[in-house]
């Protein structure tokens, strides 16, 4: 797919008519629990986008009469239309790959033991520090092209493979440049606290203090990130360190996110709910108390089934979380280690087949709740008048084909801000 200028990306005009169904969650906040399965389904639907913003959603028969000569008209011809996907957790800017580690893991090595030996996140950090701005930009640009073709119209991206001032800022600058140039909207997250780099080993508390004093304020001042994230895990950062880092981030005006309870339950979900994180992510090992706390909070539980799949772990307790009243989002966790994939089709399939999430819940989790997990549910994540014109035409007449056509990309046409990108 080719790139458009930032202006074009935000101001397309389009009419989609004769959709077998236009399907969307509704609202400007995350949908929780049973609300996640309540989709609006409009038969023989139509959507109008004007200057990048949705101006009509309804039946084709009731499409308001008017002058659509400035609009591109698409006949959806009996196919389904859904909102663009929001991938709310990725590490898309990085140098190098870790294909050897994948083989080691398949032979029984654990993710954490590889990291403890200086591999894992540390390996990608060495490669990212050595990569130039242009190299990071080019490789992430290709990844964004593929994501767009899979129907992702907004993506969150984390720094965290620099962990020094210079490389962290470079990763965030790359995301800013990509956001300006690529059709994709990128929500940038500062994740300097992804691990403790070799030069700070054993001085985790000092490293946290240094980030709070020396890096976060500059990231805030230059507007390089909207969120801050930390890997709260046994052997990485403790809940106390995470609390200190995220509290400082909130005070600087960032939204807080946390990698929580992935390998061990350290109380990360409880912490996220207590301090008002936008999202708590992974949660494979989240306790009953953690789930209850998330359900009672406005924190989105972001689940990453491709990571559990790739690490041969069990899946997060999605069914129990939704039944307890949580707002669940799904994301790919694209990164060069634990989940080297941007496959929304695989995410959809794993969620429905192994995590007992319904197709309706999964669609909400990948659209409106993903948008809430990046703080943008007011403007994206559903097909409603006033929201951005980010939507997808599928190859089939129903959203139910998304998990059913297992791991296949059935996105035929991507519309981003009213601008059309065809997959065929
Ligand atoms: O979300 N768990 C920590 N961070 C990433 C993995 C990063 C990596 O392995 O490079 C994750 O899975
Ligand atoms: Fe992650």
- The three-state DSSP-derived secondary structure of 385-404 is CCCECCEEEECCCCCCHHHH
Which ligand has the nearest atom to the CA of 102?
1
Distance CA(391)–CA(382), nearest Å, equals 9
**Residue of 335, 340, 341 best suited for mutating to test ligand 1, as the one with most atoms within 8 Å of CB:** 335
Any idea what the Cα angle at residue 331 is, between residues 208 and 394, rounded to 5°? 155
Distance CA(214)–CA(166), nearest Å, equals 11
**Residue of 90, 306, 337, 342 best suited for mutating to test ligand 1, as the one with most atoms within 8 Å of CB:** 337
Phi/psi region, residue 143 (left: phi>0; alpha: psi -120 to 50; beta: rest), is alpha
| Structural tokens at position 369 | 């709740």
Indicate yes or no: pTM above 0.85.
yes
Is the minimum distance from the CB of 333 to ligand 1 under 6 angstroms?
yes
Which candidate, 280, 284, 321, places its Cα nearest to that of 32? 321
State the closest ligand 1 atom to the C-alpha of 339, by its place in the atom list counted from 1.
12
Distance CA(111)–CA(339), nearest Å, equals 11
Distance CA(144)–CA(108), nearest Å, equals 32
- State how far Cα 196 lies from the chain centre: 24
**Residue of 93, 159, 268, 338 best suited for mutating to test ligand 1, as the one with most atoms within 8 Å of CB:** 338
Is the minimum distance from the CB of 336 to ligand 1 under 6 angstroms?
yes
Give residue 50 CA to ligand 1 midpoint distance, Å: 39
Give residue 27 CA to ligand 2 midpoint distance, Å: 27
How many other β-carbons are positioned within 10 Å of the β-carbon of residue 140?
A: 22
Q: Are strands 279-282 and 255-260 parallel, antiparallel or unpaired?
A: parallel
Instruction: Tell me the torsion sign for CA atoms 225, 283, 264, 107.
Output: negative
Is the minimum distance from the CB of 338 to ligand 1 under 6 angstroms?
yes
DSSP for 175-213, written as a single string: HHHHHHHSSSEEEEEEEEETS--GGGTT-HHHHHHHIII
State the closest ligand 1 atom to the C-alpha of 111, by its place in the atom list counted from 1.
9
Which ligand has the nearest atom to the CA of 339?
1
Which residue, judged by its Cα, is nearest atom 1 of ligand 1? 333
State the closest ligand 1 atom to the C-alpha of 94, by its place in the atom list counted from 1.
10
Which residue, judged by its Cα, is nearest atom 6 of ligand 1? 338
As a whole number of angstroms, the longest Cα–Cα distance in the chain is 68
Q: What's residue 5's pLDDT?
A: 53
Give residue 121 CA to ligand 1 midpoint distance, Å: 7
Query: How deeply is 59 buried, as exposed, middle or buried, from its count of CB atoms within 10 A (0-12, 13-18, 19+)?
Result: middle
Distance CA(61)–CA(180), nearest Å, equals 38
Q: What's residue 344's pLDDT?
A: 98
Q: What's residue 10's pLDDT?
A: 78
Q: How far is CA 302 from CA 258, 374, 399, in A?
A: 10, 11, 21
Tell me the CA end-to-end span of the chain in Å, nearest whole number.
10
Give residue 160 CA to ligand 1 midpoint distance, Å: 9
Give residue 191 CA to ligand 1 midpoint distance, Å: 11
Is the minimum distance from the CB of 94 to ligand 1 under 6 angstroms?
no
How many other β-carbons are positioned within 10 Å of the β-carbon of residue 6?
A: 14
HSE at residue 124, side-chain half, CA atoms within 13 A, is 27
Is the minimum distance from the CB of 91 to ligand 1 under 6 angstroms?
yes
SS3 103: helix
Is the minimum distance from the CB of 167 to ligand 1 under 6 angstroms?
no
Which candidate, 46, 45, 44, 41, places its Cα nearest to that of 68? 46
**Residue of 333, 347, 373 best suited for mutating to test ligand 1, as the one with most atoms within 8 Å of CB:** 333
Which residue, judged by its Cα, is nearest atom 9 of ligand 1? 337
Which ligand has the nearest atom to the CA of 119?
1
Query: Phi and psi at residue 367, in whole multiples of 5°?
Result: -125, -90
Q: What's residue 4's pLDDT?
A: 43
Which ligand has the nearest atom to the CA of 236?
1
- What is the residue-level pLDDT of the chain in tens, covering all 424 positions? 334 455 556 799 999 999 999 999 999 999 999 999 999 999 999 999 999 999 999 999 999 999 999 999 999 999 999 999 999 999 999 999 999 999 999 999 999 999 999 999 999 999 999 999 999 999 999 999 999 999 999 999 999 999 999 999 999 999 999 999 999 999 999 999 999 999 999 999 999 999 999 999 999 999 999 999 999 999 999 999 999 999 999 999 999 999 999 999 999 999 999 999 999 999 999 999 999 999 999 999 999 999 999 999 999 999 999 999 999 999 999 999 999 999 999 999 999 999 999 999 999 999 999 999 999 999 999 999 999 999 999 999 999 999 999 999 999 999 999 999 987 7
Give residue 311 CA to ligand 2 midpoint distance, Å: 13
């Amino acid at each position: 797919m080719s790139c458009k200028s930032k202006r074009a990306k935000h101001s397309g005009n389009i009419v989609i008519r004769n959709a077998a169904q236009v399907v969307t969650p509704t609202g400007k906040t995350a949908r929780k629990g049973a609300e996640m399965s309540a989709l609006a389904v409009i038969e023989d639907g139509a959507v109008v986008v004007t200057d990048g913003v949705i101006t009509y959603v309804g039946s084709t028969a009731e499409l308001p009469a008017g002058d659509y000569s400035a609009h591109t008209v698409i006949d959806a011809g009996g196919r389904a239309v859904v909102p663009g996907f929001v991938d709310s957790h990725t590490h898309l800017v990085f140098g190098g790959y870790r294909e050897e580690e994948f083989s080691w893991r398949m032979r029984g090595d654990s993710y954490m033991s590889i990291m403890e030996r200086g591999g894992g996140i540390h390996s990608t950090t060495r490669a990212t520090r050595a990569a130039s701005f242009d190299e990071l930009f080019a490789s992430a640009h290709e990844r964004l092209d593929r994501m767009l073709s899979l129907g992702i119209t907004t993506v969150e991206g984390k720094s965290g493979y620099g962990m020094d001032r210079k490389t962290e800022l470079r990763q965030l600058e790359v995301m800013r440049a990509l956001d300006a140039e690529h059709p994709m909207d990128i929500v940038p997250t500062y994740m300097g606290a992804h691990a403790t780099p070799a030069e700070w080993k054993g001085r985790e508390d000092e490293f946290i203090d240094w980030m709070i004093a020396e890096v976060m304020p500059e990231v805030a001042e230059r507007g390089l990130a909207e969120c801050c994230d930390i890997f709260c895990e046994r052997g990485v950062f403790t809940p106390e360190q995470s609390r200190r880092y995220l509290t400082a981030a909130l005070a600087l005006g960032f939204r807080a996110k946390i990698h929580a309870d992935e390998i061990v339950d350290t109380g990360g979900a409880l912490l996220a709910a207590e301090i008002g994180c936008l999202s708590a992510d992974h949660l494979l090992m989240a306790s009953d108390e953690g789930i209850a706390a998330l359900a009672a909070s406005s924190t989105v539980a972001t689940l990453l089934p491709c990571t559990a799949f790739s690490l041969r772990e069990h899946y997060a307790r999605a069914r129990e979380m939704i039944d307890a009243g949580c707002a669940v989002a799904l994301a790919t966790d694209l990164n060069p280690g634990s989940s080297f994939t941007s496959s929304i089709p695989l995410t959809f399939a794993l969620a429905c087949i192994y995590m007992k999430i319904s197709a309706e819940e999964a669609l909400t989790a990948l659209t409106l709740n993903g948008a809430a997990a990046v703080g943008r549910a007011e403007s994206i994540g559903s097909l409603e008048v006033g929201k951005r014109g980010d939507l997808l035409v599928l190859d089939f007449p129903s959203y139910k084909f998304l998990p059913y056509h297992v791991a296949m990309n059935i996105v035929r046409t991507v519309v981003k801000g009213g601008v059309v990108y065809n997959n065929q």
